[in-house]
Each structure stands twice: as C-alpha cells, then as structure tokens.
Chain A
Amino acid sequence: MATFKVNGFEKNLDIEPDMPLLWALRDELGMTGTKFGCGIASCGACTVHVNGRAVRSCTTPVSAVEGQDITTIEGLAAMAAGTNASVPNLTAVQQAWIDHQVPQCGYCQSGMIMATSALLASNPNPTDAEIDSNITNICRCGSYPRVRRAIRSLANA
C-alpha cells in the first residue's frame, strides 16, 4: 500500500512500491497534467513538487514519497492559495506564462512551470546562470527565450 498526499488530498494506492510516481499519478489516479517525456530523469516533463522541492517523478518510486506532500500542476494554484479563497486561480508563474505567451505545443510546460515555481520559491531573484543550472528541462518547441523572459519578469516583480 502506498500512501501520500497529492495536492492536499490523501491517496492510498494498492500498487507496487517500485512503481514510479509518474505512473501512479497518470494511470492510477488519472492525473494526466504531469507528462511522460523520457522516463529517465532527462527531460523534466514529469516534474512535480515533493514537499515543495522539484522532483522528476518518472524515476521516483512511490516508496520514496511515502507519507510526503506532493503537488502537481493541477494543484499548484490551489496549494499556493491555501485557505485564502481570494487568491486568483493561477499562480504568478502561470500568469507570467500566459502574459509572455510561453507555451507552444505545451507538452513540456507542466514540468517547466513546476521547475520554475520551485526555483523561485527558494531563490526569488535568480541570475541567468542560476536559471540555466536549475531549469534543465527540455522544450522541443524551443520556448526557452520566453521561459527566460517570464522568469525575469517575476524576478523583477
């Protein structure tokens, strides 16, 4: 039995301990906002937060997140808002992604947004070099210039 919280809700799943969190989310819980890109922790499409830290869920077995708090793209805004109902239903990062028209095909963007949100939470004003070394996700559509612009706009805010 695997037990962990997803976006504030407790989940109990009768699954193998070595099933990667990615597939538990997608196939067992039907939460498909978290994407499969490579399966080997190389592309970042599957990035979620475990206790607020960005983690690549495709290589994280559920046994490693037993009892932990997981946030996915679907719950990012609600988790940030907490009990404060007046908070808009998008985070500042998500809004910046719209303002700067970042996504193209969009497939990598759940992971990009999760990685960026974790970076900015720990380092609200990252340098370009810090952006480069922290955001290592692949975007095949090449949205990188806009990702950088969006992050800079948040850092300056």
Chain B
Amino acid sequence: MKKISRRRFLITSALVGGGVLIGYSATRPSRHRLANTDLAQRGEHYVTSLLKIEADNTVTVYVPHSEMGQGVHTSLSMMAADELDADWELVKIEQAPAIDLFANGDIIKGFAREFGVPSFLEGLVSVSAIKVAELMNMQITGGSSSVRFTGEFGMRTAGAAARQMLIECAATRWGVTAEECTTQLSHVHHNASGRSLAYGELAADAALLEPPEDPVLKDPAQFTIMGKSISRVDIPAKVDGSANYGLDAKPAGMLYAAIRFAPVFGTKLVSVDAGDVLSRRGVKRIIELEDSVAVVADSYWRAREALKLLSSVFETSAKDTTSSADIYAGFERSLADENGSKVIEQGDTEAAMESAADVIEANYRVPYLAHAAMEPMNCTVHIHDDKVDVWTSTQDALGIKARVAKIAGVAEDDASFHHSYLGGGFGRRLPFNWNVIDHATLIAKEFEVPVKTVLSREDDMQQDYYRPAVASNFKAAFDGEGNVLAWHNRFTGPVQTPGASHIPYAIANQSIRVVDGDTHVPIAAWRSVDHSQQTFFTESFVDEIAHRAGKNPYQLRRELLQQHPRHRKVLEVAAEAAGYGQNLPEGHALGIAVQESFGSIVAEIAEVSIGSNNEPVVHKVTCAIDCGWAINPDTVEAQVESGIIFGLTAAMYGEITIENGRVAQNNFPDYEMVRMATSPEIDVHIVESGEALGGLGEPATPPIAAALTNAIYILTGQRVRELPIKNHDFSRINPIAQV
C-alpha cells in the first residue's frame, strides 16, 4: 500500500484566558481557517478544533464521532493525548458539536485525494451517487473508520503538533534549543537545568505560533497511553441511568407521535377513519402524511393506544402478494439467465471446469435481516421562529442536521443538533436510512412545540432498511489429486462492499460475477455490510472443497494462504488457542472461518455440539484478530465479543421474511436474539502485526456463521447452506470422519 503522507496543515487560534486550540485541515485553503476567521469575529469562546489546551493545564479533546458503545470517545482521545504527552488525568473529552468544522470531510478529502473514495464509505448504499462534495458535509461514524481515519490522520497529528509548539515556546522562554527539552505528563522539561513548565503556562504563547506542517509522530515504543487498556469514559453514566439517548430527550412542552407506516414498502396512504380517537385523553391531532398516519398526544403511550383504534387504508400495489419465496425465485431466475457483471475474472474458469476430474456445486442463500438496535428509532424536532432543534441518536449528526433543516424549510445555520449516546447503530443510524428523521420533521412542522416521534419495536422491525437477502451459487473444479483448479461464483447484488466476495485463497482460475438482486425491500449497510453474507458463503464453500478433496479444512486453508501471511498467522493463533487437532469433549467439533474486512483479519473457531433438543450449542468461540495494533486492547476485545454475538444471533435465528409484500416479523419473540443462556465463552487473541490500523466495530461479525456451520457439518453430516440455523432439523446425525 502506498504510504500515506502525514503532512497536514494545522491551525491554531487563541482562546480567551490564554489557551490554545489546535486543529488540522488536510487541504488549503481550509474550512477551518475560513471558519476560524469568521467565528473569531463572532464569538470568543467558540471552540473550533480537535484539541484545546487551557491555562489551568486541562486538555479538552473534541471527538467528531458518535459514541455507540465502541469506545470511540476514549480511543480517539487516547491518540491525541499520547502524542501530546498529556497527563491522562487532565484530559477532558467532549463530543464535537455538529457544525461543519468537525465534519469528517476534511479527513475523507485528504484521504480521497490520494486514494479515491475510501472503501469504508463504499459500504453505504448509493455511495456511488454521492458526490465528493456531499461527503464533505457528513459526520459519519461507520465503516469501522473512526480510529483509522480521524484517529490516525486527525487526533495523532493534532497532538504531535501541539506538543512540538509547546516545546518551542518553552525553549524560547528558557533560551535553550528545542532538542534539549522533553515532555511528560503535560509538562515541558529542561533536564539540564531542572526547569519545567506546565502546558497551561505555555498555551497562550503557543497560540501565536504557526503549527508545524509535518509534525513527527511517535514510534510505538514511545507510547505511554496508546496500547494500554484504559477505562472507557462513557461507562460510568451507563450504570446509573444518567446516560442520555435520543429517546430520552425532554425539551419543555414536548408532545409525542406514534406513527403507522404503509405496511407494503413504497405504497401510499389513501384514507383515515379517526373514529373518536381525537376525543381520547391527551390526543392532540392526527397527522396524515404521504405514506403514513400519526397520532400526536401528550404522552407516547396515549398516542400509541389511540393509533391502535384508528383505521386507515393504504393503496394496493403489485407487491401486495410478494413473498420471500417469490423473491428467492426471482434470484434463481437472475442467476440462471443473467451473465451479470464482473467482480473477478482470472484465468480460464470454463476451460478448467471442462478438463476437471471432479466438479462440485453448491447453492447458498441468506434472508433479510433487521438491525434491531436496542434503542428503537426516534427523533425529536422543534421548529420555532425560523429555527429548528433536533434530538436524535445518529451515526451522522451533521448530515441529520442538514436533512432536518431542509425538510423544515430552515437555513442550515439555524438548525441545532443536540447530541446523545446511541442505543446501538449497526448501520441503521447511517445516512440514507432516514425514514424516522423525515417523518418526525414533517410531523413537527405541524406544531410549535417539540414533537418526539417514536417507532415502536414493531415499527422498527417492519420499517427498517435491511441487510439484503442474497443467493450465491458456487462451483469448484478439482484435478485428479484433489487440488482446486477453479472457483466459480454467481451471486445476487447489489454490491455494497466491493471486495467482500473475493477470496484470499490461491486458486488460479476464478470467475466471480454479480447478477441483479433488486427487490422492493429497502436495504442498507448492516454491521459488516456484504461481509456478513459473503463470508458465510465463501468460508462454507472452501470448507466443502476441503472435505471433498479429503483434506483437513484448517490445513487446506493454510496451504492456499501461502501469499497471505497475516491470514495464516491469525488462523494459526486461533487454532493453537482453541486446541485444534487435540482431543475435544465427546460430541464436540471445531469449525473454522477466516476473513479480512475493514482492514482487520479475523479467524474464528467455534466449538459446537448438538444439544439434547437437537439444536446446536456453541460452547466457545476462539478468535484471533490482526487489527494492525491496538489502541485500547480491552475495547478491541469488547468489540470482538460484540461482533461475534451479533453474527451468532444472525446465524442462529436472524430472519426477516416477506409475506404479502410486507415484513412478517414483529418483535423479539419472532426475531430472536442470543441471550445469556445461548451466549458462548469467547476467547480473544490480538495479533499485533504493526500494519496499518484496522477497523474493530465490524470485522468480528463475518466469520462466525461459517465457523458454526462448518462445525455442524462435522457433527451431523449436514451442510447448512441457508441461514438461519434454527430452520434446520438436526435430529438425524451422521457425523463426518475427521481428516
């Protein structure tokens, strides 16, 4: 990979009270510079940057990403504080306001100039339609990107630059050279003379300097904060009920809206019969929108109860009879009829198939999945005096602010976004998944007081933007000795994550093509995006290849990964830790899968048995992850545990089906989740390769499904080619003799 220049333009500005702000911009003339000028004329205390040092020696780090449990506020601050040589005890962490100074755009732009649109953004649906200019106005937390981009290109650079400036100021004051000075715990020291100054005492001077254009970052050996497991700053508020989520917004005078959407996606509201709903206690109004009807009342429960009594008619549509079976039949037709578009064409797969001693075929499919974040979707909007205030949990505060302002008919500068924690994101709270935002704004337009629109769990499940249902058909060709000659794969699109269907294995002839998989069901990024299904497909089929060739699935992978030492390493670490090849308890088997996604490489080994009720029991998952290196190792482990359980829920139970054009599932009993009783022991091993930082929020999700079904195959002789596993019957067991 081309080396990324760390050259960045930094900007300082003075704070009243003798502080200094350090920001950075990847381009010149920068928005930071322009805005600093503007804002300096307007207000003295306006915070304009990533890092603030005050006279009392406190350092404030402004984090432009949403905290949804991934520990990003802590990790990013650690990166800035370490480069600054700050005393962690003196570091305060604040959510950056949703103003465009804090857009991720600068970071993205800096990156895009050298590499094009970063691949994590390609994970968003319709990203191809976004112009780079629009990207600049997003404040996205997604694609496992925060630490990799904002951290590496923003936080560390700002910290290092500030440190250099503070040293320069101290050296000038003492009449010594900068080289003679050292820094530690928010102080500059001149060891020869025993003098030292606190950063706070130097901040006013530093504000007058031009920041260095190419600050020197630390070597990992010099880290004092990064690499340590540090307690997350967001946790204390999450154990005493004081953490605020979007749903907890309570501006004065607020009303509540409960909404009924058109059940069949894309249809419109025809009529409403309110009956005596308006006479019910607390009910204020009924709002009819193009595709929905809402009841607004003085409490959410009153609004919801009233909505139940209201009858409504939605238009009929050609989709009213569509079922999941029809959708899969459409996929089969596309796969049979279409040549599709090229993902990979290498060698001559057709010739290899014809000359092969043996060919195997297997067809896989996965259903739609809902995000089901724990906090149901909600948005509170107050439109007043040509201004708008918005409260919602989002992965893109700035984008939401712009969206709400536009719908409210208010200038973006007159929109205020109120931050909160997210009760889970997983892609549901990314740009384009705007239904609750749009509807909440349209409803609030009818009132002068704030209105909080809340989707019930049922609404949330039935009006999501889903992980797509996908079908994927494979063929593999072998020579007489069982060596794989060719890999042939056709799957239904769209491609949301380029590269997810690629395989790392050394197979000379490969033909991978994608055919049309469009349906009327809205889709979006879902934790790990296309990797969630593609890894199940490819890592299952590789396993099929191994068994057909009479080879050990672990050994076959190692052999075919000669060119991928990082993949081999995580496989070996996981295998060793899981006791692969050693004696297991009676009736247990190990299944393996490995996948690279979002810059991290993850191997997972599931230890599984078939329980007394004929259901698979996952006893333990051993995971090795190479994420380059770890900023906060405990956070890495937590994210891996989380990702595995998220993937396990999908593999075991996850299934959104379509009946009569609409989603058949309602709430958790019919969209079951892994719970304490079904949650395995998880053993995480971090492999530090020292390569570029990889993502953490998503990469542990993809491998678990195949690791589990590969173990089930050994235990039962049944190859699970359709998820979820709960739909399969394992009452007749025919274990495979292991190689």
A133 to B372, CA, bound (A): 23
A13 to B645, CA, bound (A): 41
- Interface members, chain B 648-674 (any A CB < 8 Å): 649, 667-669, 673-674
Is B675 an interface residue when CB atoms closer than 8 A count as contact?
Answer: yes
A109 to B244, CA, bound (A): 13
**CB-defined contacts of B667 to chain A, threshold 8 Å:** 38-40, 42
Is A106 a contact of B234 with CB atoms below 8 Å? yes
Minimum CB–CB distance for B179 against chain A, Å: 40
Chain B residue at minimum C-beta to C-beta distance from A22:
B301
A45 to B676, CA, bound (A): 14
Is B68 an interface residue when CB atoms closer than 8 A count as contact?
Answer: yes
A147 to B638, CA, bound (A): 12
Among A20, A36, A45, A142, residue most surrounded by chain B Cβ atoms (within 10 Å): A142
**CB-defined contacts of B299 to chain A, threshold 8 Å:** 19, 23, 27-28
Is B729 an interface residue when CB atoms closer than 8 A count as contact?
Answer: no
Chain A residue at minimum C-beta to C-beta distance from B242:
A33
Is B423 an interface residue when CB atoms closer than 8 A count as contact?
Answer: yes
Q: Name the one of A27, A34, A39, A101 contacting B634, with C-beta atoms under 8 angstroms.
A: A101
The 8 A CB mask of B206-248 against A (1 = contact, 0 = none) is: 0000000000000000000000000110111111111111011
Is A101 a contact of B676 with CB atoms below 8 Å? no
Is A143 an interface residue when CB atoms closer than 8 A count as contact?
Answer: yes
**CB-defined contacts of B642 to chain A, threshold 8 Å:** 104, 141-143
The 8 A CB mask of A128-140 against B (1 = contact, 0 = none) is: 0001110111111
**CB-defined contacts of B372 to chain A, threshold 8 Å:** 140
Is A105 a contact of B239 with CB atoms below 8 Å? no
**Number of B residues with CB within 8 Å of any CB on chain A:** 59
Known: A38-B668, A131-B676, A136-B675. A142 touches B241 (CB 8 A): no
Chain B residue at minimum C-beta to C-beta distance from A77:
B240
Is A133 a contact of B240 with CB atoms below 8 Å? no
The 8 A CB mask of A3-21 against B (1 = contact, 0 = none) is: 0000000000000100110
The 8 A CB mask of A34-60 against B (1 = contact, 0 = none) is: 111111101101000000000000000
**CB-defined contacts of A141 to chain B, threshold 8 Å:** 69, 374, 424, 642, 645-646
**CB-defined contacts of B239 to chain A, threshold 8 Å:** 90, 94, 97-98, 102-103, 109, 113
**CB-defined contacts of B422 to chain A, threshold 8 Å:** 105
Known: A36-B247, A105-B424, A138-B675. A20 touches B238 (CB 8 A): no
**CB-defined contacts of B70 to chain A, threshold 8 Å:** 104
Q: Could you tell me the dominant secondary structure of chain B's interface residues?
A: loop
Is A142 a contact of B646 with CB atoms below 8 Å? yes
A138 to B594, CA, bound (A): 28
A94 to B238, CA, bound (A): 9
Known: A36-B247, A39-B456, A142-B641. A74 touches B69 (CB 8 A): no
Is B668 a contact of A42 with CB atoms below 8 Å? yes
Among B234, B238, B281, B649, residue most surrounded by chain A Cβ atoms (within 10 Å): B238
Is B421 an interface residue when CB atoms closer than 8 A count as contact?
Answer: yes
Is A82 an interface residue when CB atoms closer than 8 A count as contact?
Answer: no
Is B245 a contact of A30 with CB atoms below 8 Å? no
Is A34 a contact of B674 with CB atoms below 8 Å? no
A19 to B282, CA, bound (A): 13
- Interface members, chain B 452-498 (any A CB < 8 Å): 454, 456-457
Is A105 a contact of B240 with CB atoms below 8 Å? no
Is B180 an interface residue when CB atoms closer than 8 A count as contact?
Answer: no
- Interface of A toward B, CB cutoff 8 Å: 16, 19-20, 23, 26-28, 30-40, 42-43, 45, 72-74, 76-77, 90, 94, 97-98, 101-110, 113, 131-133, 135-148
20 additional A-B pairs beyond A16-B281, A104-B70, beta carbons within 8 Å, are A32-B241, A36-B376, A38-B457, A43-B668, A72-B241, A73-B241, A74-B242, A97-B235, A104-B68, A104-B638, A105-B424, A106-B69, A106-B234, A106-B423, A107-B373, A135-B676, A136-B675, A141-B424, A142-B674, A145-B682
Closest 9 CB pairs of A and B: A33-B241, A142-B645, A104-B69, A107-B423, A106-B238, A105-B69, A73-B241, A132-B677, A144-B679
Q: List 26 A-B contacts (CB under 8 A).
A: A23-B301, A31-B241, A32-B247, A33-B240, A35-B247, A36-B247, A40-B669, A43-B668, A72-B241, A73-B240, A77-B240, A103-B235, A103-B238, A105-B373, A105-B421, A107-B373, A132-B676, A133-B677, A136-B676, A138-B675, A141-B646, A142-B643, A143-B641, A144-B645, A144-B676, A146-B638
